[in-house]
Amino acid sequence: MRVALAHAFASRDGATPAVVVPATPANPSTSASASASDDSLATPRIALALSGGLDSMVLLDALAHWTQSRRDAGESVAQPLAIHIHHGLSEHADEWLAACEREARLRGFAFEARRVTVPRDARQGIEGAARAARYTALAERCAAHGIDWLLTAHHANDQAETVLLQMLRGAGLPGVAAMAGAGALPVTSSAQLLRPLLDVSRETMHAFASVRSLSWVEDPSNQDRQYLRNALRHDVMPAIAAHVPAYRETLARFARHAAQAQSLLDQLARIDFEAARVDTSRLQRSRLQGLDTARLANLLRYWAAREGLAAPPEARLDEWVRQIRDAQPDASLTLPHGDAVLRLYRDVLQWTPVYTAAAAAADADAAADDVALHWSGERLWSLPQWQGSVVFEPVIDVGADAQSAIAGIAEAALRAQPLIARERAGGERWRERADGHSRSLKHWYQNKGVPAWQRHVPIVWQAADIVFVPRLGIDGAALCVDGPRWRMTWRDEA
């Protein structure tokens, strides 16, 4: 479809171009979400992000012609959906919504509008906040309608501007690789993002719109040069075009080369990640010691992206590399980054939520109140003040051999007295087995390798006796191996 729609602009007479239908992406939800009609099941469900500007109105018109041409050829094509996001940032926003709905319905599209709230004091700036809110809303509507492909009207000029903008920001290869013709949305979504006009210039689109007598809205903010992209568009690009007429093609080729180079770096990072990983999300620091500075930085950058985190600034990344390489074998590290913390403990690196750092340093005066539970068979005891829950699971005996019996706490004991979840006060003691010695929680945490940031958990009591300690287990004095009994475990819910 991308190639087919782009070919629409090679002809200015409005003739319907020959097109190619995109392959259906893997999307098991499509058949459940789509209409039961034959049309909706025959081809992928398509949606268009419709702002009302020149670019999206041109794509709307071209997509309408593509849809009609397929139907004229006897193919069954699902009704496309136009989605308009109302940001509420302009006094003309209501007029734009009305224009989008009118033009979409005139062409036989289904239409839906969604209003979003854009914080004006967002850390990423108002443009970044609007973009984040827009894609989140688009992804939600795609999921609601079982959409396979979401089309946007980004074009060749947008691509060139993005490359230069990212270079000026020092964004590195992922940034200067700019926009792919097809790929994932920048937020979690089963729909795929398609940019069918990425090789078409704005000038060609304007000529096409004139031939087709299209109408569109003009956003006054696009003339505001306080935004760097607008300054590039109005002041820099015309000067470049005067000396390098093929600048769009040149920058697009540069972006493709950057994307290829980044792909190779990601492949190398995956090799290093697999060589160092302890489990699905933790790495052995000692296995990274053989990597040189650049290769370790590449791995850490890849790992942050894998965790869904923003790319770390160069200075921060350099500091991570230095501390990880120079740390002693028994060292602990705490390296904050956005909403997460990269931690080193007992030679293992892992990402944790920020809340654990704050909780571990919580003031004693802010200790959580006791919480009581009169247990009567509950499977889950939610304790949000400790960002987790106690999970109860019945023990099922699988054999008559007492030696292989699984220990748990007797059901009768659980019902006998209320369970009390209480903040640690210091001095508590726990035993692993009924015949073992009780020792301080600090001893057991160290013995079991529980890092300090995971120790902000409640202690579960019955009267004056400890019954359960998260990350350690049921106290040995409460364990039994016969009769109805239950396991107790802790589940983090940060």
**Domains of the chain, residue spans:** 44-244, 280-353, 361-492
Rounded mean pLDDT of 364-391?
86
pLDDT of residue 451: 87
CATH number belonging to the domain at 44-244, selected among 1.10.3720.10, 3.40.50.620, 2.70.70.10, 3.30.56.10? 3.40.50.620
Q: Read off the tokens for 347.
A: 């030679």
**pLDDT interval class at 434 (50, 70, 90):** confident
**pLDDT interval class at 265 (50, 70, 90):** very high
Structural element, H or E, at residue 492: strand 485-492
Q: Read off the tokens for 441.
A: 């929680």
Q: Which has the minimum average pLDDT: 181-185, 378-382, 411-415? A: 181-185
226 exposure class (CB count in 10 Å sphere: 0-12, 13-18, 19+): exposed
Q: Given a cut of 90, is residue 329 above it in pLDDT?
A: no
Give the β-pairing of 192-194 and 282-284. unpaired
Per-chain mean pLDDT for the chain: 86
What confidence tens digit (pLDDT) does each residue in 279-314 have? 988 999 999 999 999 999 999 999 999 998 888 999
pLDDT of residue 468: 97
Q: Which residues are annotated as a binding site?
A: 51-56
pLDDT of residue 71: 92
Q: Given a cut of 60, is residue 23 above it in pLDDT?
A: no
Rounded mean pLDDT of 63-85?
93
Check residues 116 and 41 and name the one with the higher pLDDT: 116
Q: Where are the alpha helices (DSSP H) in 152-245?
A: 156-168, 173-176, 202-211, 228-231, 237-243
What confidence tens digit (pLDDT) does each residue in 133-177 have? 999 999 999 999 999 999 999 999 999 999 999 999 888 898 899
Q: Which residues are annotated as a binding site for ATP?
A: 51-56
3-state secondary structure of 112: strand
Rounded mean pLDDT of 219-231?
88
Residue 7 neighbours by CB under 8 Å, 6+ apart: 17, 18, 19
Residue 8 neighbours by CB under 8 Å, 6+ apart: 17, 62, 65, 66, 208
**pLDDT interval class at 354 (50, 70, 90):** confident
Fold of 280-353: Chorismate Mutase Domain, subunit A (1.20.59)
- Percent of the chain surpassing pLDDT 90: 66
The domains spanning 44-244 and 280-353 adopt the same CATH topology: no
